[in-house]
Structure 1
Amino acid sequence: MQPLSHIHRNKFPTPFFGLALVLLVSLASPTSSCTEQQKSSLLQLLAGLSREGGLTASWRSDMDCCSWEGITCSPNMTVTDVSLASRGLEGPISPFLGNLTGLLRLNLSGNLLSGGLPLELVSSSSIIVLDVSFNRLTGGLHELPSSTPARPLQVLNISSNLFTGRFPTMTWEVMKSLVVLNASTNSFTGQIPTTPCVSAPSFAVLELSFNQFSGNIPQGLINCTVMKLLSAGYNNLSGTLPKELFNVTSLEHLSLPNNHLEGPLNGITKLTNLVILDLGGNEISGKIPDSIGELTRLEELHLDHNNMSGELPSGLSNCIDLTTIDLKRNYFSGKLSNVNFSNLSNLKKIDLLYNHFTGDIPESIYSCSKLTALRLSYNHFHGQLSEKIGNLKSLSFLSLVNNSLTNITRTLQILSDSRSLTTLFIGFNFLHETMPEGDSIDGFVNLQVLSINDCSLSGKISDWLSKIPNLGMLLLHNNELTGPIPDWVSSLNFLFYLDISNNSLTGEIPSALMEMPMLVSEATAPMVFELPVYNKSPFIQYLMPGAFPKVLNLGTNNLTGLIPEKIDQLKALISLNLSSNKLSGEIPRLISTLTNLQVLDLSSNHLTGTIPSALNNLHFLSRFNICNNDLEGAIPTVGQLSTFPSSSFDGNPKLCGPVVGNHCGLPEASPVSIASAKQFGNLVIFFIAFGVFFGIGVLYDQIVLARYFC
């Protein structure tokens, strides 16, 4: 029998002990590190930066560069990844990064890097992903000669920089593996490149939007047989959509908005794999083909801002995956009932703003239970709103402006039950009806924006409005409302935009209005609109309520009394309009403390006194109007107020100054100077009389005194 110790010694074969010994030795020995050449190349990048985003603490020359922040190495200690996105780096990109012969991925996006893009990176024999997007890189892209060996680059993202010049054409001949090319949001010129379609068999994504590309859409795109995304919106492309493009049946995303494309959409339905079609902002004409129903994968349809017409085809009902229909600002007509919206259960947004649709709002729309935004404004719909709109439990944005809707009380009662509704525009309807009073309306628990303007509504500013707890914007202008401005307006803690102008409101401006929390505070509303909201004058697109200026517009009413002294509490106010009322008294000097003001209109009142010189402290003031009052004194000739035209001061005959062409005479003087001036007249007579007797000596004294008193 063998000793126990001998049995244990021979239990495992000899090779096992050899492997174990190797592992132990490898663990015990110092870890390999990156080469000095790799470390030097990386430190060259760091040395050239004016701001290094805290990398110095990690990128130490006495440490292995494989352990540096943002650096990844392979098992054999070759640097494969440099990932320094959004680090606040400033300065040029070092061409020495091209010496990293094992580098596969370089991500420097979201910094403040400047200068050009080194040719050494574009022509690298190892890099497969190069992302320098969202920087400040300038200049053009270098052309690589066709004799250059094939490069392995698969993804090139140079978007959102300051690149200029003609876009390369030959470079792409050597990019045999290219899959994604994103050069959007630069200033490239020339034509859309088609070279990758031939040289790179896997080329799938071409993103060139927001540049200055011109010419027609090239027919050569037909060679992009696996292309899934073509995006070249916001350029200067022209001509028609080439029929060859419709043979690229692999396309899933076709986005060419805001160019100068024209002609009909014939052939578009061959692209049966389309998920997103965006041709908005062009000059596309004709009808939507009924065969659009063949695009069964279509999710987003954007044909807004074109010259399209005709009725909507019933075939649209077959696009059952649609989530967005955007046809605003066209010439579509007829009844919406041609489309069976009951089939479109995935719809979230419908925007038909500015068209010529007629008839009733089809009740099939109310079966789209996922709908979050519905805009039917500026059409020719009529009748009363159906109670079935209450089925839209997710509806957040509703705009029905300028149709021929009736019965405002019932409309508000129906909509007030919606717990999801945050934005409601129903102006230019309900003509000459009466604003609902008292407790007839109850609800709107999450409503933030309410516009009932231009309806010629009579009645008062009703108390039910005070019970909308989250109201931030209230627009009741251009109606026939009477009575005083209620004090409860200041209890709306989130109200920052109040426009009740052009009504027949009476009484004084309530002092409670000077305590509106959102006009005292710099806070803004965090909500985002489901659809963009447009302001005609000036034409601006708003994506969220908080982007609107903070406004108090009480103009064109019958308000009396003084401008409240406590108006200086509204520190966040951007626009103040009290024009065309019957306000009296002086312009409060403390308005000058509202340093955020950009608009101040006090015209057409009965204001008296002088223009407070402290108003020159309103350095952001761009619109100023105090015409048609009874103001007096000098108009400031320096400072902010001196930059406004005479029309800002007209109708105040007692005002003087170069702006109105009415000279003020002697400058305003102190009481002591005025008294001295009176004495001066007597002294002049005295000295002239004595001049006969005292000759030149007395005349000399007169000149000295005259100089003193002037």
Structure 2
Amino acid sequence: MQELQLLLVLAALVLLSFLSPATSCTEQEKSSLLQFLRELSPDSSSKFSRSWQSGTSCCSWEGIACGSNGTVTELSLPSMALEGPISVSIANLTGLRRLDLSYNSLSGELPPELISSASVAFLDVSFNRLNGELQESSPSLPHHPLQVLNISHNFFAGEFPSTIWEKKSDLVAINASHNTFSGALPSSFCISSPSFAVLDLSYNLFSGSIPAEIGKCSSLRVLKASNNEINGSLSDELFDASMLEHLSFLKNGLEGELDDGPLADGPAHKHTHTLFYLQPNSKQIAKLKNIVVLDLGSNNFIGDIPGSIGQLKRLEELHLDYNRMSGELPSALGNCTNLKIINLKYNSFRGELLKLSPRIGNLKSLLFLSLSNNAFVNIANVIHALKNSRKINTLIIGTNFKGETMPEDIPITDGFQSLQVLSIPSCSLSGKIPLWLSKLAKLEVLDLSNNQLTGPIPDWIHDLNFLYFIDISNNKLTGDLPTAIMLMPMLQPDKVATQLDPRAFEQPVYAGPSLTYGKNNALPAMLNLANNELTGAIPSEVGQLKSLTLLNLSFNSLSGQIPQQLFDLTNLQVVDLSNNHLSGSIPPGLNNLHFLTTFDASNNDLEGWIPAGVQSSYPYDFSGNPKLCDPTLTRTCDSAEAPPVSTLTGEETTPKIVFAIAFGAFFCLGVVYDQAVLSRFFG
């Protein structure tokens, strides 16, 4: 990422500018450092008992670096599990240039003397538990050398100060994301710091409109203010910041259009359906000629994508998802030949994607395309237009193409050779599971759910050697449950070794009423064949799917016994066999599945005793099996008459299945820790 590279280069230059061979520090500096140590928790200070000795030069202490004259120039103790406050005594280190206390558990306020230090150029206290308001002291100092400030992932609150930056003419980058700052967005950085380049205020509580003054930031390259409460329109002045490479206002309340404005010979006017004025021929987006990432997702924008977007030759990522935009996609989008990610899901775009063709073939770098939940038509043309794309690894186009037929006769030769995720759910597509899918040698995720597909599950599915997430539920598939699907190579190891490209998953891979996954490694190993017309027995080969975590075979016409081998799958968390015609007894071993969050075998024809140690209550559901008996039930195996069988429809049990799958996925892989995985400073 460009902003990360910029910051790393800057940090290296700052570090090299003051590092040199160590001699010995002064007694005053030694005293200040020991005072900092004493104010930490006892457990924290004990970690330095061997290194930080009063009888040795502090230039040799862990985390300390000195200049040629013995002055302490660096205090760097990241990821040391430090607890307690940051002592103000650090401000007494008059030669300190770099302070890095990130990734600890420090608490209390950030001493204002550090913000207004006469020496500190690099200050990083990110990923701690610091709180209070951001303040400064010594406003009488003529100049503050601060260049990089990273206070992200803390609990700072209050308004973000504006006057604090007036004497910081060297300021280059600020990351204040993931706090609880409120009030208006600050706008005074560029007035005093002409080289100011990076501002990240994401994940706070900022409100109000985007300040027009930001447009005066002639060197600004990164502006992130996602996940706030910012409203209003994108002001004309904002587009004057023509050096911007990364602009992100994801998840705010911005509104209005992104169009090109009226014709050049017409007067300025106010659109009847927008909330702001556009000047004649005002191609505002085209001014961002250096933009690489444009992320305006999850706002309230309306109207078309302007044709002038084709002038953004450096554009690599376009995120306009979850807005209220409409119209057909401009053919000029094909001119953005560096595009890697296009995310337009959940809008009202319409028409044929082919009107973007043949220029869409120019997008040789395209990795990720999500057009789901719009009103596009002609799925055959979409597949034809993209089938020669060699780099695309994610194609998400569900909830479009209503009532069309799944294309079958598509020759796949060397195209789609990198495709790893294919998601076409909720289109009411008819036809069969097409043969061209068998050519997708790297496919790992397949979602064809909620369509009208018929015919059997093809045997060639087990030839897809990397496929581990399969959802073909809610179709009209028929035939016996094939043994081939139980022989899938990727589901047989104990763990799934995913190969998905993480660059493609900065946005959710799969979003539906029941599942939302933000990273590739959050997708569970899943086999969902529910709500079809499948018959026959569950093959004993199911016991080979060692990596499987979610198995849903509910609402079919499966018969025979539950195979004993099913209980060899010790990674299982969700099993739904409900609403079939399964018979016989429940084999032993069910209570050996220690990770189960749900086991549903309701509404079948099972009989005999429920296994010892398993109760007919959450997370187990055996209701609707009149021949089953258990001490916890109101009947025994000697009962002459059994309670009536409940007849539930798929719609009535869907919430139960949804909860089970979502809870199981969350329990399986936990919370994916936020942007810190991607970047140390400005992820």
TM-score > 0.5, shorter chain as reference: yes
Tell me the SS of whatever aligns to 2:298.
coil
Which amino acid is the alignment partner of residue 418 of structure 1? Answer: F
> What's the counterpart of residue 680 of structure 1?
none
Which amino acid is the alignment partner of residue 377 of structure 1? Answer: S
Could you tell me how far apart the structure 2 residues matched to 1:150 and 1:118 are? 18
Deviation at 1:300, TM superposition (A): 2.8
Deviation at 1:582, TM superposition (A): 0.9
* Equivalent residue for 1:536, pick from 488, 504, 512: 512
Deviation at 1:110, TM superposition (A): 1.9
> What's the counterpart of residue 442 of structure 2?
446
Structure 1 residue ranges without an equivalent (≥5): 1-30, 270-282, 496-516, 638-649, 654-710
> What's the counterpart of residue 601 of structure 2?
602
Tell me the SS of whatever aligns to 2:59.
helix
Tell me the SS of whatever aligns to 2:454.
coil
Deviation at 1:526, TM superposition (A): 4.8
1:396 and 2:389 are equivalent in the alignment: no
* 1:70-112 per-position Cα deviation (integer Å, ceiling 9, x unaligned): 2211111111111222333333323221221111111111223
Q: Does the CA-based 8 Å contact 1:81-1:103 persist in structure 2?
A: yes
* Equivalent residue for 2:422, pick from 424, 432, 440: 424
* Equivalent residue for 1:164, pick from 157, 162, 179: 157
Could you tell me how far apart the structure 2 residues matched to 1:213 and 1:307 are? 17
1:185–1:236 distance in 2 versus 1, CA, 3 Å: same
Deviation at 1:193, TM superposition (A): 2.7
Q: Does the CA-based 8 Å contact 2:175-2:200 persist in structure 1?
A: yes
1:365 and 2:360 are equivalent in the alignment: yes
* 1:338-370 per-position Cα deviation (integer Å, ceiling 9, x unaligned): 414553321222233233321353332123222
Deviation at 1:37, TM superposition (A): 2.2
Q: Does the CA-based 8 Å contact 1:525-1:546 persist in structure 2?
A: no
Q: Does the CA-based 8 Å contact 1:297-1:319 persist in structure 2?
A: yes
* Equivalent residue for 1:485, pick from 481, 502, 505: 481
Deviation at 1:543, TM superposition (A): 1.9
Could you tell me how far apart the structure 2 residues matched to 1:574 and 1:370 are? 38
Ranges of 4+ aligned residues in structure 1 off by more than 6 Å: 266-269, 283-289, 650-653
Q: Based on CA coordinates, which of the two structures has the bigger radius of gyration?
A: 1
CA RMSD of aligned residues (A): 3.6
Deviation at 1:131, TM superposition (A): 0.9
Q: Does the CA-based 8 Å contact 1:553-1:576 persist in structure 2?
A: yes
Alignment of 1:322-341 (within 5 A): 322-336=315-329, 338-341=330-333
Could you tell me how far apart the structure 2 residues matched to 1:45 and 1:291 are? 51
Q: Does the CA-based 8 Å contact 1:595-1:617 persist in structure 2?
A: no
TM-score (norm 1): 0.71
* Equivalent residue for 1:104, pick from 97, 121, 134: 97
* 1:43-83 per-position Cα deviation (integer Å, ceiling 9, x unaligned): 33334242369544433333322122322111111111112
Could you tell me how far apart the structure 2 residues matched to 1:537 and 1:313 are? 31
Tell me the SS of whatever aligns to 1:584.
strand
1:380–1:245 distance in 2 versus 1, CA, 3 Å: closer
Could you tell me how far apart the structure 2 residues matched to 1:205 and 1:402 are? 38
Residue range with higher mean Cα deviation, 393-402 or 382-391: 382-391
Count of aligned positions: 568
Could you tell me how far apart the structure 2 residues matched to 1:116 and 1:299 are? 36
Q: Does the CA-based 8 Å contact 1:560-1:582 persist in structure 2?
A: yes
* 1:178-227 per-position Cα deviation (integer Å, ceiling 9, x unaligned): 33332111112222233444454544433221111223334454665554
> What's the counterpart of residue 37 of structure 1?
28
> What's the counterpart of residue 338 of structure 2?
346
> What's the counterpart of residue 66 of structure 2?
73
1:446–1:321 distance in 2 versus 1, CA, 3 Å: same
Could you tell me how far apart the structure 2 residues matched to 1:468 and 1:151 are? 60
* 1:259-312 per-position Cα deviation (integer Å, ceiling 9, x unaligned): 22223347999xxxxxxxxxxxxx999999766445433333333334444444
Could you tell me how far apart the structure 2 residues matched to 1:182 and 1:635 are? 58
Q: Does the CA-based 8 Å contact 1:563-1:583 persist in structure 2?
A: yes
Q: Does the CA-based 8 Å contact 2:396-2:423 persist in structure 1?
A: yes
Could you tell me how far apart the structure 2 residues matched to 1:267 and 1:145 are? 48
Deviation at 1:559, TM superposition (A): 0.9
Identical columns (%): 38
Which amino acid is the alignment partner of residue 426 of structure 1? Answer: I
1:96–1:526 distance in 2 versus 1, CA, 3 Å: farther
Q: Does the CA-based 8 Å contact 2:109-2:132 persist in structure 1?
A: yes
Q: Does the CA-based 8 Å contact 1:373-1:395 persist in structure 2?
A: yes
Q: Does the CA-based 8 Å contact 1:125-1:151 persist in structure 2?
A: yes
Tell me the SS of whatever aligns to 1:81.
strand
Deviation at 1:533, TM superposition (A): 1.8
> What's the counterpart of residue 573 of structure 2?
574
Deviation at 1:32, TM superposition (A): 4.8
Which amino acid is the alignment partner of residue 348 of structure 1? Answer: K
Could you tell me how far apart the structure 2 residues matched to 1:290 and 1:583 are? 64
Which amino acid is the alignment partner of residue 31 of structure 2? Answer: S
Residue range with higher mean Cα deviation, 102-111 or 52-61: 52-61
Which amino acid is the alignment partner of residue 574 of structure 2? Answer: S
Tell me the SS of whatever aligns to 2:70.
coil
Alignment of 1:630-669 (within 5 A): 630=626, 631-633=628-630, 635=632
Could you tell me how far apart the structure 2 residues matched to 1:527 and 1:543 are? 9
Alignment of 1:270-349 (within 5 A): 292-336=285-329, 338-349=330-341
Deviation at 1:634, TM superposition (A): 5.0
Q: Does the CA-based 8 Å contact 2:606-2:625 persist in structure 1?
A: yes
1:431–1:239 distance in 2 versus 1, CA, 3 Å: closer
Which amino acid is the alignment partner of residue 483 of structure 2? Answer: D
Tell me the SS of whatever aligns to 2:476.
coil
Alignment of 1:175-194 (within 5 A): 175-194=168-187
Tell me the SS of whatever aligns to 2:409.
helix
1:243–1:295 distance in 2 versus 1, CA, 3 Å: closer
Could you tell me how far apart the structure 1 residues matched to 2:554 and 2:46 are? 52
> What's the counterpart of residue 533 of structure 2?
none
> What's the counterpart of residue 136 of structure 1?
129
* 1:141-190 per-position Cα deviation (integer Å, ceiling 9, x unaligned): 23537456643323221111122233334433454543333211111222
Alignment of 1:245-260 (within 5 A): 245-249=238-242, 251-260=244-253
Could you tell me how far apart the structure 2 residues matched to 1:436 and 1:180 are? 51
Alignment of 1:7-86 (within 5 A): 32-47=23-38, 48-49=40-41, 50-51=43-44, 55-86=48-79
Residue range with higher mean Cα deviation, 88-97 or 198-207: 198-207
* Equivalent residue for 1:527, pick from 500, 517, 523: 500
* 1:377-432 per-position Cα deviation (integer Å, ceiling 9, x unaligned): 34322152465534311121122324335353324x52786321111123445833
Deviation at 1:113, TM superposition (A): 2.2
1:398–1:69 distance in 2 versus 1, CA, 3 Å: same
Could you tell me how far apart the structure 2 residues matched to 1:581 and 1:289 are? 62
> What's the counterpart of residue 204 of structure 2?
211
Tell me the SS of whatever aligns to 1:77.
coil
Q: Does the CA-based 8 Å contact 1:589-1:614 persist in structure 2?
A: no
Which amino acid is the alignment partner of residue 46 of structure 1? Answer: L
Q: Does the CA-based 8 Å contact 1:101-1:126 persist in structure 2?
A: yes
* Equivalent residue for 2:370, pick from 375, 379, 383: 375
* Equivalent residue for 1:468, pick from 441, 464, 467: 464
Deviation at 1:477, TM superposition (A): 1.2
Deviation at 1:535, TM superposition (A): 3.3
1:486–1:101 distance in 2 versus 1, CA, 3 Å: same
Could you tell me how far apart the structure 2 residues matched to 1:264 and 1:343 are? 21
TM-score (norm 2): 0.74
Tell me the SS of whatever aligns to 2:419.
coil
Which amino acid is the alignment partner of residue 147 of structure 2? Answer: Q
1:224–1:395 distance in 2 versus 1, CA, 3 Å: closer
